[in-house]
Structure 1
């Protein structure tokens, strides 16, 4: 498949169920990271557009969308999922060309998009029977129940590594809960998120229920996060931006959900058994999505006794990874998303070298690719815990290695990070795996694997990886106001005060 055969749709902002030109008529270039060529443009929203979208969302809550039942919302969600499936052949290459991820990964992402929407349709449908859930009390004269109400207008700010999938992780539960949403995808990869607007228009989603604003963070994201009439913000992205959002939300006492990345460990013990299998999970855990994953297990912590043999196998497997244009058949590693991100990754590698680490493999542009933001899969050894490469998230295909002797030492190394999103442990000793899983200071643990992610379990971190949970039933709870209704049901007076004597 050639990039020249792919038509990039030209879209406006999606507000109040319609395509609308930005107030300031700004447009931003779409750059194909595989060729460095401009292949189209997207609208650039500003604070003026945010105001219009917030007003539309509030009208939706006060009108048709706000009066829907869970079953009605489920019907809309299933229609959206069906449209995603129908349009999958065009959405997959758009995702690949926009974000740089291999075509096979974009294909899998689209399946997850439709499945996640269908999952939340099921939860929306079940909501109707869960309303007025009784709360047992110790007094028979009083009955109490709980209502789950939509929290209101929500601002959803999403990253570029899984453009449509990360958007759906937020959009699907927000709509299922009955919120009105404003999605602000990353300006680096917005094409498929705009196509979601067209899908919503085609299925007749009530106007204002979902609004989509593309644009730069300072010009569109910041006004959305700080808007007085946005009731909650859910953000996935960098720690620095997350801190700004949390600071702004604190001024308004506004709830936030933050997923801010990680520096996740993968701990491999000498009793792992099949080294080739462990090597593949190591590669998948770090190099999937071109290494641009917040949960990437980019710190390999190896038991000393197997380190030499394991690293030799790791090198052989790494050299076999096909690096190419993401649209090429068999591609397993595409380009970094942008020039700025490419330069950041290369600087991290050069800093590791200057601090005394060894670039065992990779660390440069592949010789056969002279254009595009490509970085060879990189393996770094002779690492100590004071180095930047050990401490800071790279967000590129870079793996650093450190060895250990004892389980206690492995735990200390694994938890030696300010982040706490995910961790992996590989061992045949399942009791040891259980001990490690309890010891990891993270929100997610993989046992004898690394990186598989599903829509049913909760997702989120601790420490500087953020707080709150997405996906599963926990993701739906993010978008509710939990309201108690307590009723006095006795015919007898309360009896606290005495009536005046006659």
Structure 2
């Protein structure tokens, strides 16, 4: 090895050396929780107990919301200029990047994402912070045409205290994508991470303080959904709640908002995203790579995973053959090995959930064309890629979000049937369309009910930078806008100000 080469990271050694601080982060410091109960965080790759976290509840949430409110009203953050906040957020991004290995390792240990994917994910998170920092002074207020003797303005103000509840599938990344836009426009934040994977989010509080975020502006409280989560969602002094997770939980949060102070909601919930392939795309090998990659990345635990494959009948058999061949080649491995691309599911509960859907698909008459199921490993929550054919739209595997590496395949005759199949679920989060026909692409982009539609005419085309665009889910995939400038505006309140005479 020459002096310019970087020695490979021994992630197994790093995992043995890492320490966990499980205490909540409130008002700029770690505090001892008053909660008596605890919950365990486990390594899904081998079942090892990593740590016991305090099951924080109303007392810790009250303290965190109070700290956030005091900080907001004091104006130590909200009254800074957008550029001043942007400089601190840039420091935050740098701190995330400096500590990317640690954050990635925490996510790998807690929920099983292979380290080869988790480490780049943290660098993408740093870039997401930079994106909102750069945009923080681009949310332009408006002067409204009016009587010449008056001046009428529309002003954007921060909403105040933002509550955030985040999932376990991309723990630190999704936490950051909620924290960053909320902070960029001047809010204070209280974050409740998933009980399955809390450690990386807890670390973010220290990194934010290191970057210069004032005390109380960012608070992070671990706990169970029924305790800390419900307390945050029903808190009378939280102005807006942002959540990513299941549709069932999203509905419960709507109830808690209505029962408390009618706080505003941004909810990104379940998905059953279609991948629609027309026969004018001739590189079936590249399509098969993309289809399998979409349903197996992070072991299929992705809200926008392409879990339904809709294929024009003329190419159905040829494409399915290629999909099966590629899925068959995937091997499960140790998430701490950089060569591993496919790890375990995040928990025993998630493993049991996927198994139930696997059994339901067979019971309802779908053909398990790739019935791999268990990986043969007895030391973790592994489930191998599974492909069902002869799927009907009324089957549970076609209608309900599985959140695992399970692909349901349909054949369609024409464009109308493709749209009907694509829109045949309660969800509308994302969709992919493979066609070289521009007119058809435009029709499908409008006809498919999804917050985000990706049109691909050439396999291997450059991916879109998702941080630049905003989207709003359809159906029971959620409410509210995320991403881009409109996603930042969602964390503001619109005020009309008039100057007369």
Q: Secondary structure at the match of 1:438?
A: helix
1:375-399 Cα deviation digits (max 9, x unpaired): 0101011211111001000000000
2:190 is the alignment partner of 1:179: no
Shift, 1:146, TM fit: 2.0
Change (3 A) 1:223 1:28: same
Task: Find the aligned partners of 1:112 and 1:141 in 2 and give their Cα distance.
Answer: 50
- Is the aligned partner of 1:303 residue 2:315? no
* Counterpart residue number, 1:30: 41
Structure 2 alignment gaps of length 5 or more: 1-9
Encode CA deviations 1:363-385: one digit per residue, 9 max, x unaligned: 42112x22110001010112111
Contact 1:8/1:40, CA 8 A, preserved across alignment: no
Q: Residue 145 of structure 2 corresponds to which residue in structure 1?
A: 136
Verify: 1:223 aligned to 2:219, yes or no: no
- Larger CA deviation: 168-177 vs 194-203: 194-203
After superposition, the Cα gap between the structure-2 partners of 1:119 and 1:244, relative to the gap in structure 1 and judged at 3 Å, is same
Q: Deviations over 1:38-93 (max 9, x none)?
A: 02233321111111111101110121223222122112111110111111122222
Structure with greater Cα Rg: 1
SS at match of 1:416: coil
1:60 aligns with 2:68: no
In structure 2, distance between residues paired with 1:377 and 1:51: 43
Q: Is the 8 A contact 1:443 1:459 kept in 2?
A: yes
Structure 2 distance, partners of 1:156, 1:453, is: 24
The corresponding residue for 2:395 is 387
**Quick check: 148-157 or 116-125, which moved more?**
116-125
Q: Does 1:337 align with 2:346?
A: yes
SS class of match (1:272): coil
Provide the C-alpha distance between the structure 1 equivalents of 2:192 and 2:372, rounded to a whole number of angstroms. Answer: 33
- 1:70 is aligned, of 77, 82, 104, to 82
Change in 2 beyond 3 A, CA 1:71/1:61:
same
Corresponding position: 1:443 with 2:466: no
What SS is found at the alignment partner of 1:281?
A: helix
Q: Which residue of 2 aligns with 1:256?
A: 265
TM-score by length of 1: 0.93
Contact 2:354–2:404 (Cα < 8 Å) also in 1: yes
The answer for the alignment partner of 1:277 in structure 2 is: 286
- Over residues 128-152 of structure 1, what are the superposed CA-to-partner deviations in whole Å (9 max), with x where a residue is unaligned? xx35x32222x11111112211101
| Inter-partner Cα distance in structure 2 for 1:89 and 1:158 | 21
Q: Partner of 1:66: helix, strand, or coil?
A: coil
Partner residue in 1 for 2:57? 46
- Separation in structure 1 between the aligned mates of residue 26 and residue 472 of structure 2, nearest angstrom: 30
Q: Equivalent residue of 2:148, what SS?
A: coil
1:378 alignment counterpart: 386
CA-CA distance at 1:178 after TM superposition: 0.6
Q: Is 1:15 equivalent to 2:26 in the alignment? A: yes
Query: In 1, distance between residues paired with 2:464 and 2:387?
Result: 22
Q: Which one of 323, 328, 353 corresponds to residue 319 of structure 1?
A: 328
CA distance in 2, matches of 1:43, 1:475: 32
Name the SS for the 1:187 alignment partner. coil
Mapped to 1, the partners of 2:327 and 2:340 lie a distance apart of: 13
TM-aligned CA distance change 1:57 to 1:458, over 3 Å: same
Q: Distance in 1 between matches of 2:43 and 2:367?
A: 32
SS in 1 for 2:496: strand
Post-superposition shift, 1:330? Answer: 2.1
Match of 2:178?
170
**Per-residue deviation, 1:2:** 4.8
The residue aligned with 1:500 is: none
Question: Which stretch of the first structure deviates more once superposed, 159-168 or 326-335?
Answer: 326-335
Q: Which moved more, 1:431-440 or 1:118-127?
A: 118-127
Aligned to 1:91: 103
Q: TM-score, normalised by structure 2?
A: 0.94
Residue 150 of structure 1 is matched in structure 2 by 158
* Cα distance in 2 between the residues matched to 1:257 and 1:482: 16
